[in-house]
Amino acid sequence: MGHFPADVRVEASRPCNAWAVPPEQAATPGGYSALAERVRKGDPSAEDELVRIFRARVLVMMRARTREPDAARDLCQDVLIAVLCALRQGQLRDTERIAAFVHGIARNTANNYLRTRRRQSVLDELPEPVAAAVWDDPVESAERRQLVSCALSSLTREDRRILMLTLVEGLKPGEIAERLGLNDEVVRTRKSRALRKVIERVRALSRT
Structure confidence at residue 196 (pLDDT): 85
Structure confidence at residue 116 (pLDDT): 75
Q: Which residues of 146-163 are buried (b: 16+ CB within 10 A; e: fewer)?
A: ebbeebbeebeeebbbbb
Structure confidence at residue 32 (pLDDT): 83
Q: Under a CB-based contact definition with an 8 Å cutoff, are residues 84 and 58 in contact?
A: no
Q: At what angle do helices 69-88 and 184-207 cross, to 10 degrees?
A: 80
Query: pTM of this prediction?
Result: 0.62
Of 202, 161, 204, 196, which is closest to residue 78 (Cα–Cα)?
A: 202
Q: Using alpha carbons, list the distances in angstroms from residue 73 to 38, 69, 76, 80.
A: 26, 6, 5, 11
Question: What is the SS3 assignment for 82?
Answer: helix
Q: Which DSSP symbol is given to 9? A: G
**Can you give the pLDDT of all 208 residues of the chain as single tens digits?**
333 333 333 333 344 445 555 544 444 445 788 899 999 998 989 999 999 999 999 999 999 999 899 999 999 999 999 999 999 888 888 888 898 999 999 999 998 888 877 655 543 443 444 334 333 444 455 666 677 778 888 889 899 899 888 887 888 889 999 999 999 999 999 988 888 888 888 778 777 6
d(CA 83, CA 91): 9
Chain centre distance of CA 142: 14
